[in-house]
Amino acid sequence: MLHYGISTVVLAALLFIPASKLIWVLSVRRLERKGGRALNDAERQGQQTRARVIAAVLCVVFAALFNGQLMDVFAGG
């Protein structure tokens, strides 16, 4: 069980930065296209905070599910 927790945290941490950047870029591009103008720095910062929260939740859930599947495979289930 300890191995599951550690591997979940490590995988989530490794996925966090690329996932948050991807979510941020997609969000900023969508808002700029929808609004027809470039976002200012405050709006970009707000989107970055939002992207980090979404990425944190997404990465932890994905890492937990992925490691759960791996544990089942290695346990012979």
Percent of the chain with pLDDT over 70: 97
Q: What's the rounded mean pLDDT across residues 45-57?
A: 97
> Residue 8 burial by CB count (10 A; 0-12/13-18/19+): exposed, middle or buried?
buried
pLDDT digits (tens, 9 = 90+) for 28-41: 999 999 999 999 99
pTM of structure: 0.85
Average pLDDT value over all residues in the chain: 93
The more confidently predicted of residues 57 and 2 is: 57
Tell me the DSSP string of 55-77.
Answer: HHHHHHHHHHHHHHHHHHHHTT-
Domain boundaries, the chain: 2-74
Distance of CA 76 to the CA centre of its chain: 30
